[in-house]
Structure 1
Amino acid sequence: MTDVHPLAHPLSVAARPELTGGRRIGVLLSHGFTGQPASMKPWGEYLAEQGYAVEVPRLPGHGTSWQDANKTTWADWYGEVSRTFDKLVAENDAVVACGLSMGGALVLRLAADHPDRLAGVVVVNPAVGTRRFDVKLLPVLKHLVPSFPGIANDIKKPGVEEHGYAKTPLRAAHSMMQGFAALVPDLPRITAPLLYFRSTVDHVVDDLSQPLITSKVSSREITERSLGESYHVATIDNDAPQIFEESAAFIAKVTAP
């Protein structure tokens, strides 16, 4: 396996209940496909300063090389998110899960599988499908070519780097699409409050996912926020402060006694 990128190591911060009314509140943040923890760490660090226990795991096959990603599957990524979630549940009074892009799909999967264990869900430009025609050809293409051009660094703010892969691993992409297909029918099982951030311009996730998610989930509270100054990786783009502040307020609200 290729060495882990210096910025790709996980983030783990313990709770400081003296800042959160005496309760221990855990927050899981998952990065997206071909990305790595660097896209989520500033958000995680902001939440840690508020007193929350924060975990930003590195998904298997990410933060090293795209060839490594091609050896992993949706089950591997979800397994890592699930293990991190179980750790937070064991150590805290309440847990909220947050995700970017495919990370959004992973935490929605968590919410569908554990409707009674999640206090809330925050997603940023989540993907649960696509209108792209070439995706339908992945079952064949993955045997013919190993990768397509990368999807990283869709960021409006100048000089910001996601440090994602320069190529898109097709075997892994096919597994991701299979994970999406299995998730969509289970979206109605999601009952936790949902905070949904969506960039008005996103060159990675098309317009299929947002109405699909918001029309199917059974959340008793769905809050949608538009991000007008960011592209896909909004967690490190111009609208990052809005995401940080509004998510912190949301977490405080949904985890209140």
Structure 2
Amino acid sequence: MLIEAEIARARAAGCRHEENLPFLLGGERGQGAVLLVHGFTGSPWEMKPLGAYLAGRGFLVYGLRLPGHGTSPEDLAGKRMEDWLDEVTQGLRKLAACGHPVSAVGQSTGALLLLRAALEEPLNGLVLLSPFLRLRHRLAPAAGLLRFFKPFQNRPLTPQNLPYYYERRPVAGVHQINRLTRHLRSRLRQVQTPTLVVSAQGDQTVIVPSAMELYQRLGSRRKEYHLFGSEAPHVLTTADNPRQPETLTLTASFLAGLRRG
């Protein structure tokens, strides 16, 4: 696939920071292809450490940019679940066109989008990092109404993370996440893809037990669940997570095991 075309498309959409652009890495040893999907208000940057790790182990890795991300909160506020899902579906198909068996790894909302795509697209394996069926914020279920009165929710970010995440989260986007979880809940039994689920007790963004609920609902005959302790945060792929090295090795080992199988 031509990553230059994907980068040009991201730039045309308003993505300016280099680290927020989509990326393509590795593939020299033919271990298969992996699509990486970042989370809500994030960017491909948060998947880059995992991408580099997998590429170093012979995988062809494509880190896509979900519409509305890496640009502005206002841009994201105008995007729908269907826009994100279409980008994920196209990413899977572009990798499949390279002739490799395709697996996928998603962080948070990216994990949910991959579950939805897995209902229709053939996948070799799935790794779901911090997936969920319920968000932690007590007002999240009312986002469909709140978006008309409070368009954005402010949240603190460290200076080093400011270039890669939005300080203002569009409530309309939370409404789209609610749509996605409602859509998935009754369909998880239909997902047959081998799946690894990883979550953390220190997650302050989602209701952590809902990850186990999601895991239990999956129809996959081969599935694994791993729970980090309170020291690990919501985003598991970046250096902010003290268990990042284990996240990378768990993911790579699971995908390599599928390849051998």
Tell me, yes or no, whether TM beats 0.5: yes
Q: What is the aligned partner in structure 2 of residue 156 from structure 1?
A: none
In structure 1, list runs of 5 or more residues that go unmatched.
154-158
Distance (Å, rounded) in 2 between the aligned partners of 1:138 and 1:65: 19
Match of 2:234 in 1: 232
Distance 1:243 1:139 in 2: 34
1:136–1:248: structure 2 CA closer, same or farther, 3 Å change rule? closer
Counterpart amino acid of 2:184?
A: L
Contact between 1:34 and 1:152, CA under 8 Å: does it hold in 2?
no
- Point out the more displaced range, 42-51 or 207-216: 207-216
Structure 1 residue ranges, 4+ long, deviating more than 6 angstroms after superposition: none
Query: 1:111: how far off?
Result: 1.9
- Percent identity between matched residues is 30
**In 2, Cα distance between the equivalents of 1:151 and 1:217?**
34
Structure 1's 239 and 66: CA in aligned 2 closer, same or farther, altered over 3 A?
same
SS of the residue aligned with 1:38? helix
Which of 70, 75, 78 is the matching residue for 2:82? 75
Name the structure 1 match of 2:128. 123
**AA aligned opposite 2:27:** A
Deviations 1:144-202 (A, max 9, x none): 1211123867xxxxx86372100110112111211111111111011111111111210
**1:197 to 1:108, Cα distance in 2 relative to 1, 3 A:** same
Asked if structure 2 preserves the Cα contact closer than 8 Å seen for 1:131 and 1:208, the reply is: no
Describe the SS at the equivalent of 1:81: helix
Once residues 181 and 207 of structure 1 are traced to their aligned partners in structure 2, the CA distance between those partners, rounded to angstroms, is 17
- Counterpart for residue 97 of structure 2: 90
Distance change (3 Å), C-alpha of 1:70 and 1:240: same
Whether 1:150 aligns to 2:152 is no
Task: Tell me which residue corresponds to 2:195.
Answer: 194
Distance (Å, rounded) in 1 between the aligned partners of 2:22 and 2:80: 19
Q: 1:102 aligns with which of 104, 109, 112?
A: 109
5+ residue gaps, structure 2:
1-12
Q: 6, 10, 13: which one pairs with 2:25? A: 13
Report the CA distance shift for 1:55/1:3 in structure 2 as closer, same or farther (over 3 A): closer
- The 1:131/1:234 distance shift into structure 2, 3 A limit, reads closer
- Once residues 104 and 122 of structure 1 are traced to their aligned partners in structure 2, the CA distance between those partners, rounded to angstroms, is 8
Residues 151, 204 of structure 1: 8 Å contact kept:
no
Aligned to 2:36: 29
Equivalent pair of 1:124/1:197 in contact (CA under 8 Å) = yes
Kept in 1, the 8 Å contact 2:132–2:208? The answer is: no
Whole-angstrom distance in 2 between the partners of 1:42 and 1:133 = 32
Q: How many Å apart are 1:251 and its aligned residue?
A: 0.8
Query: 1:132 deviation in Å?
Result: 4.1
Indicate the larger mover: 127-136 or 61-70.
Answer: 127-136
Using the alignment, how far apart are the partners of 2:244 and 2:254 within structure 1?
15
Count how many residue pairs are aligned between Structure 1 and Structure 2: 245
Summarize the Cα distance change of 1:2–1:86 in structure 2 as closer, same or farther, 3 Å threshold: closer
Matches within 5 A, 1:40-59: 40-59=47-66
Q: Is contact 1:130–1:208 with CA below 8 Å preserved after alignment?
A: no
The residue number in structure 1 matching 2:257 is: 253
Aligned twin of 2:217: 216
Following TM superposition, by how much is the alpha carbon of 1:136 offset from its aligned partner in structure 2, in angstroms?
2.6
- When residues 33 and 99 of structure 1 are mapped into structure 2, their CA distance, relative to the original with a 3 A threshold, is same
- Distance, in Å, in 2 between the alignment partners of 1:142 and 1:63 is 21
Question: RMSD across aligned C-alpha pairs, in angstroms?
Answer: 1.9
Cα distance in 1 for residues equivalent to 2:14 and 2:146: 25
TM-score, normalization by structure 2: 0.87
Describe the SS at the equivalent of 1:27.
strand
Structure 1 length-normalised TM: 0.88
Q: How does 1:176-187 map to 2 (within 5 A)?
A: 176-187=177-188
